[in-house]
Structure 1
Amino acid sequence: MNVQVFIEFLLYVGNVLFLLFVVVPYYWLKSLYHILNPSQPKSVKGEIVLITGTGHGIGKELALMYAANGATVVGWDINESNNEETMRHLKSLGFSLVYAYKCDVSNRKDVLEVAKKVLRDVGEVTILINNAGIMPTHSFLDHTPEEIDRIIRINVFAHFWTLEAFLPAMKKNNHGHVVCLSSMAGLLGLNNLVPYCASKYAVRGLMEGLEEEFRRIPNNRVHFTTICPFMVDTGLCKRPDIRFQYFNKVLKQSDVAKEIFKAQVTNQRLVKLPPEIGIIFTLIPFWPREALYYFRDTFTTELLSDLY
């Protein structure tokens, strides 16, 4: 071993030891301190929040929450009548700064054209919440090519097109927040959800990569939050098969919306809902494969096929 290689070896070992015994414990303690002494949530008053999928479900709940907290709400949905109804409801509650736009988020041309209308009518979007998604639930071999293509276009490509439309202004102004809905299915492969799992893994990877890129920008003030919920009562989970229903309840969309809002205003990076199941999903990669099979077979929590 020559001198240069030996020095590099010592530096490598020294940095590893410093990481394990100094850096990691320090930041664990710092994280614990912030948990015990949380910072004040930031205000969304005056922000322009664009939410996809506001015609129903979590998107509709989020629109109400942001409007109630003083934000200007821009709702996108391919279902024009449902979306208009959401905004009429908000206006009936006294929230006037709400706007509805019909948009097919899977279509890049449509996204960019509607984004120009939003800029002209409302202003620059400062909070983007990519919520729209679809979830066919049946075995991989029962999915048609057209269905798989639609899942990827809506659940994945739509994120790229909305980011293309709104992220440049956030970067230019050094101000903004992007929230994307992944899923517990973006943390663990699940039965009857193969293409959906692939799409939600992709969203998580997209957000982690973006966060790393922007982390390297000096004094960056653009934030990224990924949400990974368990089953939610939005209508997408048509046939849930849950053995211990008292402990593994289907989440209420209003509760999920509250947690998303909380995560955004406190700049959380990755949120798993509910937290107790999130902890289990975090630990699963460290289990022996046979233990994972036992867990899945004993604590059945999945979706049955929607074709039968």
Structure 2
Amino acid sequence: MASVLSSILNPMLPFQMLLKLYSLCVLVVDIIWVYLNTIYAIIGSVYGFFNPPQLKSLDDETALVIGAGRGVGQSIALQLAELGVVVICVDINEKNNRNTVKLIKHKSTSAVHSYTCDITKKDNVVDLSKKIEKEVGFVSMLFYCCGIPSPRSLVTQPPQDIHVTLDLTLTSYFWLIDQYMPQMKAKNHGHIVALTSVAGLSYLKDQMPLSVAQFAVQGLAESLMEDLRVNKVNGVHVTLTHIYPFIVEENSQLRLKISSFFGSITPEKAAASILDSVRRNYPEASIPKHFLYLGHLLRILPRKATVLIRDLLDTGVDFA
């Protein structure tokens, strides 16, 4: 009786009930919409695995390769030039950088430019970007290869100073993105490529500063992707590639715990795999490719399970 009297005395009550019912219906519809699109995305991902997107053309592209003096960075610069890309090689080691330029001129007819720069200093990055804009023009692709340690350095050298590691791996990347991303957004055209070691997926023994920095690079790449999505910039792409450092041979004899599973590849093959992912506009990739799915698996499994898997896959690396 009291509830009836209350409904009569409160004419707003039916309206409030309808409002709650409407909100519930909207929530149910949203949940169904998300569920259906999630299923569609999973199906699309499986289909894309067996039928990958076509390779995009790199004609008329200008690529800035940071860390082009050696290793994977050098191989990326060489293969970009062979694809007809104007290549801008940047490295702190002038001798190595000049050697890369000589190799490019010997193997291709693409235009190539060389700059020596210590990118750990912001003023140097700003000056470099101004000089490149004046002498070369718009940079449509940015490859940042400086934060990838060599296999031997991870084992034989002590960890770097925290500030040095963060400056080289992460802070410098921020400065470069700050210089080139606005132009890419304005033209709605460009590609940012972030390379990380496997430390971006899991901790490496006695290399905590590096692991933290690599995790941060992964967060930076994902933040860039989200920024582009929110601002509806569909012509600029970001590709995050995880490189397992002991996979890439650099004239070293390695003994691996599960050699049949890991194997090894040359910097040239690693660069080819990276460029394949970039030309297909993949948001995330890994070297070797199956490690990407392992990384996804480690993110969803319970902590104890991930520890067991990491112990199993521990490289147990030793130099012969």
Determine whether 1:28 maps to 2:39: no
Residue 197 of structure 1: aligned partner: 211
Residue 88 of structure 1: aligned partner: 102
Offset of residue 192 of structure 1 = 2.0
Offset of residue 6 of structure 1 = 5.1
- The 10-residue stretch of structure 1 (214-223 or 263-272) with the greater mean CA deviation from structure 2: 214-223
Residue 19 of structure 1: aligned partner: 34
Residue 5 of structure 2: aligned partner: none
More helix by share: 2
In structure 1, list runs of 5 or more residues that go unmatched: none
Residue 281 of structure 1: aligned partner: 295
Offset of residue 302 of structure 1 = 5.5
Alpha carbons of structure 1 residues 11 and 288: separation in structure 2 relative to 1, 3 Å: same
Is the contact made by 1:134 and 1:151 (CA closer than 8 Å) also made in structure 2?
no
Alpha carbons of structure 1 residues 206 and 302: separation in structure 2 relative to 1, 3 Å: farther
Paired residue for 1:62, among 72, 76, 80? Answer: 76
Q: Distance in 1 between matches of 2:208 and 2:285?
A: 22
Is the contact made by 1:229 and 1:274 (CA closer than 8 Å) also made in structure 2?
yes
Q: Which letter maps to 2:102?
A: R
Alpha carbons of structure 1 residues 302 and 277: separation in structure 2 relative to 1, 3 Å: farther
Is the contact made by 1:240 and 1:302 (CA closer than 8 Å) also made in structure 2?
no
Alpha carbons of structure 1 residues 112 and 302: separation in structure 2 relative to 1, 3 Å: farther
Equivalent position SS for 1:90 = helix
Number of aligned positions between the proteins = 299
Alpha carbons of structure 1 residues 284 and 17: separation in structure 2 relative to 1, 3 Å: same
Determine whether 1:169 maps to 2:186: no
1:32-51 counterparts in 2 under 5 A?
A: 32-51=46-65
- The 10-residue stretch of structure 1 (129-138 or 163-172) with the greater mean CA deviation from structure 2: 129-138
Residue 201 of structure 2: aligned partner: 187
Is the contact made by 2:63 and 2:87 (CA closer than 8 Å) also made in structure 1?
yes
1:125-274 counterparts in 2 under 5 A?
A: 125-133=139-147, 135=149, 137=154, 143=159, 147-218=161-232, 220-231=234-245, 232-233=247-248, 242-274=256-288
Tell me the alpha carbon deviations over residues 13-69 of structure 1, each in whole angstroms, 9 at most, x when there is no partner.
44223322x111122223333344433211112211000101000010001100000
- Alignment RMSD: 2.7
Is the contact made by 1:170 and 1:222 (CA closer than 8 Å) also made in structure 2?
yes
Q: Distance in 1 between matches of 2:50 and 2:258?
A: 32
Is the contact made by 2:60 and 2:86 (CA closer than 8 Å) also made in structure 1?
yes
Is the contact made by 1:230 and 1:250 (CA closer than 8 Å) also made in structure 2?
no
Determine whether 1:292 maps to 2:314: no
TM-score by length of 2: 0.84
Equivalent position SS for 2:286 = strand
Offset of residue 263 of structure 1 = 1.2
Is the contact made by 1:207 and 1:224 (CA closer than 8 Å) also made in structure 2?
yes
Determine whether 1:72 maps to 2:86: yes
Q: Which letter maps to 2:82?
A: A
Paired residue for 1:115, among 124, 129, 152? Answer: 129
Q: Distance in 1 between matches of 2:171 and 2:274?
A: 22
Tell me the alpha carbon deviations over residues 223-251 of structure 1, each in whole angstroms, 9 at most, x when there is no partner.
1110012124365x989673111211244
- The 10-residue stretch of structure 1 (287-296 or 2-11) with the greater mean CA deviation from structure 2: 2-11
TM-score by length of 1: 0.87
Q: Indicate the structure (1 or 2) with the bigger Cα radius of gyration.
A: 2
Percent of aligned pairs with the same amino acid: 28
